[in-house]
Amino acid sequence: MAPIGKTTPVSAPHFPKVAGIDSPSPHSPHTAATSAALAEGVTATPSDRTAPDEDVANDAAHTANAVTDGGPHGAPLHDRLAGWVSELTTLHELTERLAATGSLDDALDELLRAGAALIGARRGLVVLEPPTGPTDVTSPAGPTSLTSLTRGYGLSHAELGHIETVPRALTAYGRILEGHRDPAGHPAPEAVAHPDILGDATLDPLRREVAVRLGCAAAYTQPLASETAGTLGAAVWLYDEPAAPVDRRRHLMHLYVRYATEHLARLIEVARARQTVATVAEELLPSRLPRVPGVRLAARHRTGPLGGGDWYDALPLPEGALGLAVGSVSGAGPSALAAMGRLRASLRAYAVMEGEDPVAVLSDLELLLRLTEPARTATALFAYAEPAAGKVVLAGAGHTPPLVVGDRRTEFVETSLSAPLGMLSCWEAPSIEVCPQPGETVLLYTDGLLRRGGDPMDRAFARLHAAAASVPRAAREDPGAIADHVLHAMVPADAAGPAGPDVVLLAARFD
């Protein structure tokens, strides 16, 4: 528990120097007493224009005209004009930083940091609850629901948990969030300042206890709302001592948050579109892998932000055989997903008819692609496996070579060179026969696995070989563990999540 007025090293962020904003450490610029000159002459509530700094600019221009007219108060007006110009510069810099963020997490972090600098707070949190239906976004930490997203600034997970124990009806941000769902149509409340939490005799005992535990003496709550986006959530900034931002700082905060709300609304729409694409891509792939005696299967799939056309398939064939396929369609977005679905469905039909001849399967697939979608190309690899005989016959069209992983060897299968499907008037390449030993795993993958790290292809192949060779001996019994190990080694931690191209891994372990 942190004592009142002090913060732990985890909850005490360091503010960067920002033009027009002094560091809150030496003094308290947020109190009315120390900012009376700044508060003097504050204009009325701004109109809802798109540019957040137009109101401050108009005030500055109006004051400049008054200064040019001369008068006994010329010097104070010059000082006031200089202050407005500084604030306009600050607002511009902060909105530029926010506009540079490309993910929801980064935008929320920047919002909390900038808001804390504007009003002189040290900690804060934002609760995001978009008014439309639930949606999930993918982040490095895993799926995150946009139904309710809480993010802290200068607060540990435990401290955020303490705050969430307070019933929402007792908090200002809770009343703001419930306001836009009011069946009577009442508008959401405005920004709320609580300058002396512990001095409030009407404060709920549970909220007082949490405030004491956090060392929180004052709070300022700002709705994340605009006319076009509606109310997306609320942000709360916490002070270590009794304080409240002056009117001028509240006005700047209103302008900044109005712009931030629009930016967050755009990022939310992008996140929803990406999740929709990812969902469609997953639905076009097998919902489960077949069980065939003598072989165990595992698959891993990562969808890129635009929804690429990487795919995989595994289907049982007559006489205990198994068809394995991976491929990639050129392009991205819904059209690539649709082409991928058509190509995969066609390959399944060709595999049932002539799966024992992988060259014939890919030849038929090439003809179909050339006739139906002449402007599109694709790579594919099809393998006809006979687990009982310990034999795999495969053919590839412009695709990356499979990798055999076992206790005694880790090596690429030398497939013949061939162009991708749709690039030649008539495609044909010889097939290759591989005889995996019991306990060995054949790893099929798309080139997205090699391009995720940004290395040249020769170095990427070397990294893949090293990753497969370093699979722990105990993990080689499980094809899923092999796929996870290789994927973790090839995809950097900062590239996890929606960034980068599609990745497909299909592992077949022969018993």
> 168-182, 199-213, 456-470: lowest mean pLDDT where?
168-182
Mean pLDDT (the chain, rounded) = 80
Percent of the chain scoring above 90 in pLDDT: 46
Q: Does 273 have pLDDT greater than 60?
A: yes
- In this prediction, residues 6-18 reach a mean pLDDT of 41
Enumerate the CATH 3.60.40.10 domain ranges in the chain, comma separated: 285-510
Q: How confident is the model at residue 37 (pLDDT cuts 50, 70, 90)?
A: very low
Task: For residue range 146-170, list pLDDT tens digits in order.
Answer: 567 899 999 999 999 999 899 988 8
Q: What are the structure tokens assigned to 167, written together? A: 């019933």
DSSP labels for 10-44? TT-PPPPPBTTB--TTTS-TTSTGGGHHHHTT---
Which regions of 208-365 does DSSP assign to beta strands (E)?
218-226, 230-239, 295-302, 308-317, 321-332
Q: Which segments of 355-440 does DSSP mark as H helices, in order?
A: 358-372
Q: Where in the chain is CATH 3.30.450.40? A: 103-274
For residues 413-429, average pLDDT: 76
Confidence of residue 32 (pLDDT cuts 50, 70, 90): very low
Higher pLDDT, 51 or 13: 51
Q: Is the model's pLDDT at 131 over the cut of 80? A: no
pLDDT of residue 328: 92
Residue 122 has pLDDT above 60, yes or no: yes
pLDDT bucket at 9, cuts 50 / 70 / 90 = very low
pLDDT at residue 289 greater than cutoff 80? yes
> φ and ψ at 338, to 5 degrees?
-65, -45
From first CA to last CA, the distance across the chain in angstroms is 56
CATH tag for 285-510 (out of 3.60.40.10, 3.40.50.11540, 1.10.260.40, 3.40.1710.10): 3.60.40.10
Predicted local distance difference test score (pLDDT) of residue 236: 95
User: What backbone torsions phi and psi does residue 52 show, to the nearest 5 degrees?
Assistant: -75, -20
Q: Is the pLDDT of residue 183 over 70?
A: no
Q: Which CATH number is correct for 103-274, 3.30.420.40, 2.60.120.620, 3.30.450.40, 3.20.20.10?
A: 3.30.450.40
pTM of the model as a whole: 0.63
Beta carbons within 8 Å of 244's beta carbon, 6+ residues apart = 30, 31, 32, 193, 195, 218, 220
Residue 30 pLDDT grade (very low, low, confident, very high; cuts 50, 70, 90):
very low
| The pLDDT of residue 144 | 42
Q: Residue 15 burial by CB count (10 A; 0-12/13-18/19+): exposed, middle or buried? A: middle
Task: Identify how many contiguous H helices and E strands the chain contains and give both numbers.
Answer: 13, 17
How high is the pLDDT of residue 323? 96
Name the residue among 100, 94, 68 with its Cα closest to residue 81: 68
- Contact call for residues 165 and 206 (beta carbons, < 8 A): yes
The whole-number average pLDDT for the span 71-94 is 76
